[in-house]
């Protein structure tokens, strides 16, 4: 393989039979985490194509994580990487819910070594080609071989113990029990050691703009 070929995306859309694809048993008592908008509930199943494994209507995908940090990094990761902190408005508008999916079921396991035998690479968790990752979700989901979701490695976490879950269900909001005491984003950031910062006020910016530059004497 040439150097240029190695740099190209190796992940392809699913092809051939996916019978026997490795799966993972999701127990109803397993605790999962979701970082979500404070103004909305946690059980939102996305079908607009904005999520990595979104299904097409009438089905959708709800994204959860194995631990709080993985859930938060999936929501705040771009800001953290770009700024080194989380803007206060974003933190205040976020809740972390501790959840239990009320039904069991088996999900496709992209973390399993055998997944590579079907053409899956780790790129499925990182690629910006959502058309490919969504094609895998469609092939494995309700209209494919009938699995109830996908387990995968979260893109913005490096802890090998962390994993994420794209749970399949009806598009929209599921009427399932939520977290009666979700953790607010400010406290959440404090617990995880993430800095929260406010943008400078208009008064502060005006003061800076009015301050004359020092004269240069030649």
pLDDT at 30 over 80: yes
Average pLDDT, the chain: 90
**Interval 158-214: pLDDT, tens:** 888 999 999 999 999 999 999 999 999 999 999 989 999 986 554 444 554 555 555
Phi-psi region of 135 (alpha: psi -120 to 50; beta: other; left: phi over 0): alpha
CA distances from 185 to 13, 65, 91, 95, 155 (A): 37, 16, 5, 6, 21
The sign of the dihedral angle between the CA atoms of 76, 53, 182, 38 is positive
- The pLDDT of 127-131, averaged and rounded, is 97
Model pLDDT, residue 176: 96
pLDDT range class, residue 91, cuts 50, 70, 90: very high
pLDDT at 218 over 50: no
pLDDT at 24 over 90: yes
Look at the block and give the residue holding tokens 């976490």: 157
Percent of the chain with pLDDT over 90: 73
- The pLDDT of 123-134, averaged and rounded, is 97
**Interval 47-67: pLDDT, tens:** 999 999 999 999 999 999 999
| Cα–Cα dist 187/189, whole Å | 5
Model pLDDT, residue 118: 97
Q: Is the peptide bond before 28 cis (omega within 30 degrees of 0)?
A: no
- pTM as predicted: 0.86
Model pLDDT, residue 198: 83
Percent of the chain with pLDDT over 70: 89
| Cα–Cα dist 169/171, whole Å | 6
Cβ atoms of residues 157 and 36 within 8 Å: no
pLDDT range class, residue 83, cuts 50, 70, 90: confident
Model pLDDT, residue 172: 96
Residue extents of the structural domains in the chain? 20-210
Model pLDDT, residue 217: 46
């Amino acid at each position: 393989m040439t150097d240029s070929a190695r740099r190209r995306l190796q992940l392809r859309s699913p092809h051939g039979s996916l019978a026997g694809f490795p799966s993972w048993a999701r127990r109803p008592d397993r605790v999962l985490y979701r970082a979500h908008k404070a103004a909305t509930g946690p059980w939102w199943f996305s079908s607009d194509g904005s999520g990595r494994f979104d299904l097409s209507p009438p089905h959708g995908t709800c994204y959860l994580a194995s631990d709080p940090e993985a859930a938060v990094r999936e929501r705040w990761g771009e800001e953290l990487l770009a700024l080194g902190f989380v803007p206060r408005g974003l933190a205040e508008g976020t809740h972390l819910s501790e959840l239990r999916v009320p039904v069991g079921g088996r999900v496709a396991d992209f973390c399993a070594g055998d997944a590579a035998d079907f053409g899956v690479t780790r790129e499925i968790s990182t690629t910006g080609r959502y058309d490919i990752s969504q094609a895998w979700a469609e092939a494995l989901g309700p209209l494919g071989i009938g699995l109830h979701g996908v387990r995968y490695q979260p893109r913005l976490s490096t802890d090998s113990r962390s994993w994420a879950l794209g749970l399949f269900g009806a598009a929209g909001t599921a009427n399932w029990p939520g977290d009666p005491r979700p953790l607010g984003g400010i406290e959440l950031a404090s617990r995880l050691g993430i800095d929260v910062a406010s943008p400078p006020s208009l008064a502060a910016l005006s003061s800076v703009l009015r301050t004359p530059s020092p004269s240069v004497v030649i």
